[in-house]
């Protein structure tokens, strides 16, 4: 489509009388329509231009869930737009509840008279607005753009996502991130049409979610001694009587605020509550829930393997977890609850009398089957709450209930096995989408956990593994990148790890893979960077090529 670009600019330039619109205030299609990320299914330049006025009329038709937010978003892009239900408004947004229009898809037509955005649902409208946003100059991002009398070249964008699960994860246990940053993270997802925020709320280094029934979770389990000046893997011992001063948590009101903020941006928030491993922070306040029964202060770093684990033989563990999950299910409207399930060391289960008794009573073969029994017991409770269970691929070991969804992180094998067994799968292999990995030379990059994951490799990712038969493709819901934060202490650093690797991922999960080419994407990506700068989002610059 590149060759069309110049023609359009020439055509448009000739058509506009100089007194109303000089070439300098013609929004250049070369730096707009062709640079949309993720790449739309189809972008067709049309004849003419839409001239932006200071007093545009706006009409919303159809069943909007967040009409005020949609109007405000549009007003930020095209200042002066106001609500009008009269037909023939300058900007018209229409939701047509039509079964034949795929969910989340949209049609954006900009012509000399109107901007017409139609979709089958509100997500489609929101994604159409994100495309319109990228068609306008980067200066719209801080709303200082004086766009009146600017002309947008006419264009028709028809677009639809490839996958329904376009996820980003954030670990707030290893390092705590303030509420305002969580919202900014959601803003980052929204610009790129990502639609799932996986919130990793609990892990060995801190519990981050207020649970009314167990106040000690946030009074004690959310705090650790401060070892920020030391290496994450080599922290010095906790002194007797030393105060736990590093940490934090989100109140249920704050969580509701995040959920509402995300919902306006068409993003589902999925909570993760880790079990049975990655749960040692609990034993700072509730030691009776572990096999060992010992108080373990919340660790200010990690040691490996971390063998402390919830006791599978103790019924009060399930009472505790079910009470926690009840509050989680009540708080989060998402269909899914993530229960972790990864890296559960079985050492203490092997010697714990209660766990061994459970293996006997339930007629289980070994500790792997005990983990499977544990997860299935939790799943029953989650299903009874009208929710679905999702977990890391270890939940496959020892058998898994059919309705459970698997997040394949240890490469693609778990995802392939799960899809072949008829489970829904979200692909999140560390080899392509672990954003805690280095994205360049470790000698010049900020410290990372290891690995080598440049943006080019993320861009090359294909979420449907070759090993799957065509009829199994439907089990792959999509893909997600994870940001573990052992080595990510600040919001600036978190942004740096995510951008532009998430930008690359957004195209992997949204756009048609046909004809995908790094150099073509690179050119569009470069055009997005000024936007990140205006938004004050820290990104890793591209390497010279
Ligand atoms: Zn036990």
- Residues 101-132: b if buried by 16+ CB within 10 A, e if exposed: beebbbbbbbbeebbbbbbbbbbbbbbbbbbb
* 108 and 170 both lie in a single domain: no
Task: Please give the pLDDT value at position 145.
Answer: 63
Is 542 part of a structural domain of the chain?
no
Is 23 part of a structural domain of the chain?
yes
Q: Which domain holds residue 367?
A: 165-535
Is 72 part of a structural domain of the chain?
yes
Is 540 part of a structural domain of the chain?
no
* 100 and 193 both lie in a single domain: no
80: left (phi over 0), alpha (psi -120 to 50) or beta: left
Q: Residue 299: beta bridge partners?
A: none
Q: How many domains does the chain have?
A: 2
Q: How far is the CA of 276 from the centre of ligand 1 (A)?
A: 11
* 324 and 423 both lie in a single domain: yes
* 143 and 178 both lie in a single domain: no
Q: How far is the CA of 316 from the centre of ligand 1 (A)?
A: 11
pTM: 0.94
Q: Looking at residue 325, which CATH number applies to its domain? A: 3.20.20.80
* 198 and 134 both lie in a single domain: no
Q: How far is the CA of 359 from the centre of ligand 1 (A)?
A: 10
Task: Please give the pLDDT value at position 54.
Answer: 80
Q: Prior bond to 235 cis, omega within 30?
A: no
Q: How far is the CA of 393 from the centre of ligand 1 (A)?
A: 23
* 69 and 183 both lie in a single domain: no
Is 545 part of a structural domain of the chain?
no
What residues are annotated to the active site?
A: 203, 278, 343
Q: How far is the CA of 348 from the centre of ligand 1 (A)?
A: 7
Residue that finishes a domain, picked among 130, 159, 188 = 159
Q: How far is the CA of 296 from the centre of ligand 1 (A)?
A: 16
The residue count for the chain? 545
Q: Looking at residue 74, which CATH number applies to its domain? A: 3.30.379.10
Q: How far is the CA of 309 from the centre of ligand 1 (A)?
A: 8
- Distance, CA of 96 to CA of 335 (rounded, Å): 25
The beta strand positions in 97-141, using DSSP E, are 106-110, 115-119
User: Which helix (DSSP H) or strand (DSSP E) does residue 272 occupy?
Assistant: strand 268-275
Largest CA distance in the chain: 87
Residue that finishes a domain, picked among 94, 126, 159 = 159
Residue 391: which of 330, 337, 354 has the closest Cα?
337
Is 541 part of a structural domain of the chain?
no
Q: Quote the tokens at residue 485.
A: 């934060």
Q: How far is the CA of 360 from the centre of ligand 1 (A)?
A: 13
The beta strand positions in 141-245, using DSSP E, are 151-159, 165-171, 196-200, 202-203, 206-207, 223-224
Task: Please give the pLDDT value at position 28.
Answer: 52
* 9 and 36 both lie in a single domain: yes
Q: Residue 389: beta bridge partners?
A: 337
Start-to-end CA span in the chain (Å): 23
- Distance, CA of 251 to CA of 536 (rounded, Å): 27
* 16 and 125 both lie in a single domain: yes
* 11 and 67 both lie in a single domain: yes
Q: How far is the CA of 358 from the centre of ligand 1 (A)?
A: 9
Which phi and psi (to 5°) does residue 504 adopt? -65, -45
Q: How far is the CA of 418 from the centre of ligand 1 (A)?
A: 28
List the chain residues with pLDDT less than 50: 1-24, 29-31
Is 419 part of a structural domain of the chain?
yes
* 99 and 34 both lie in a single domain: yes
CA-based radius of gyration for the chain: 25
Task: Please give the pLDDT value at position 20.
Answer: 39
* 154 and 169 both lie in a single domain: no
Handedness of CA 382, 387, 390, 396 (dihedral sign): positive
Is 191 part of a structural domain of the chain?
yes
Q: Residues 513, 266, 326, CA angle at the centre, nearest 5°?
A: 115
What DSSP state is assigned to residue 434? B
Query: How distant, in Å, are the alpha carbons of 79, 256, 307, 336, 528 from that of 194?
Result: 26, 20, 35, 17, 16
* 334 and 249 both lie in a single domain: yes
Q: How far is the CA of 221 from the centre of ligand 1 (A)?
A: 21
- Distance, CA of 449 to CA of 199 (rounded, Å): 20
Residue that finishes a domain, picked among 122, 142, 159 = 159
């Amino acid at each position: 489509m590149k060759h069309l670009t110049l023609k359009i600019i020439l055509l448009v330039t000739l058509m506009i009388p100089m007194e109303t619109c000089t070439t300098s205030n013609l929004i250049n299609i070369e730096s707009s329509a062709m640079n949309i990320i993720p790449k739309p299914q189809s972008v067709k330049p049309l004849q003419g231009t839409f001239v932006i006025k200071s007093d545009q009329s706006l009409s919303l038709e159809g069943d909007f869930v967040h009409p005020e937010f949609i109007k405000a978003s549009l007003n930020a892009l095209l200042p002066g737009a106001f609500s009008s239900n009269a037909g023939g408004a300058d900007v018209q947004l229409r939701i047509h509840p039509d079964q034949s229009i795929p969910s989340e898809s949209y049609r954006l037509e900009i012509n000399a008279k109107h901007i017409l955005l139609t979709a089958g649902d509100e997500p489609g409208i929101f994604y159409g607005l994100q495309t319109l946003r990228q068609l306008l100059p980067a200066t719209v991002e801080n709303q200082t753009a004086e766009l009146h009398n600017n002309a947008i070249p006419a264009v028709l964008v028809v677009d639809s996502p490839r996958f329904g699960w376009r996820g980003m994860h954030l670990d707030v246990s290893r390092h705590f991130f303030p509420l305002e940053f969580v919202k900014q993270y959601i803003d980052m997802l929204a610009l790129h049409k990502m639609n799932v925020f996986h919130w990793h709320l609990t892990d060995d280094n801190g519990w981050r979610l207020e649970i009314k029934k167990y106040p000690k979770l946030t009074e004690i389990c959310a705090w650790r001694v401060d070892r920020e000046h030391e290496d994450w893997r080599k922290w010095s011992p906790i002194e007797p009587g030393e105060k736990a001063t590093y940490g934090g948590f989100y109140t249920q009101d704050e969580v509701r605020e995040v959920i509402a903020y995300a919902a306006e941006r068409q993003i589902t928030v999925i909570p993760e509550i880790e079990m049975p491993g990655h749960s040692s922070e609990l034993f700072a306040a509730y030691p009776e829930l572990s096999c060992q029964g010992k108080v373990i202060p919340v660790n200010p770093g990690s040691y490996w393997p971390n063998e402390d684990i919830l006791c599978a033989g103790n019924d009060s563990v399930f009472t505790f977890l079910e009470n926690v999950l009840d509050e989680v299910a009540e708080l989060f409207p998402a269909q899914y609850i993530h229960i972790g399930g990864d890296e559960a060391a079985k050492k203490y289960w092997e010697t714990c009398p209660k766990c061994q008794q459970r293996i006997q009573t339930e007629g289980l073969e070994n500790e792997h089957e005990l983990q499977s029994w544990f997860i299935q017991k939790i799943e029953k409770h989650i299903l009874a709450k009208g929710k679905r269970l999702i977990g890391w691929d270890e939940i496959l070991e020892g058998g898994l209930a059919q309705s459970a969804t698997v997040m394949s992180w240890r490469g693609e094998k778990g995802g392939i096995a799960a899809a072949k067994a008829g489970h829904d799968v979200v692909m999140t292999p560390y080899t392509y989408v672990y954003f805690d990995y280095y994205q360049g030379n470790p000698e010049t990059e900020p410290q990372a956990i290891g690995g080598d994951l440049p943006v080019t490799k993320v861009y090359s990712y294909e979420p449907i593994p070759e090993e799957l038969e065509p009829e199994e493709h439907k089990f792959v819901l999509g893909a997600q990148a994870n940001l573990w934060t052992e080595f990510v202490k600040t919001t600036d650093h978190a942004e740096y790890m995510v951008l532009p690797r998430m930008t690359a991922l957004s195209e992997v999960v949204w756009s048609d893979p046909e004809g995908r080419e790094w150099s073509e994407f690179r050119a569009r990506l470069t055009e997005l960077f000024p936007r990140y700068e205006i938004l004050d989002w820290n990104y890793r610059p591209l390497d010279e090529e």
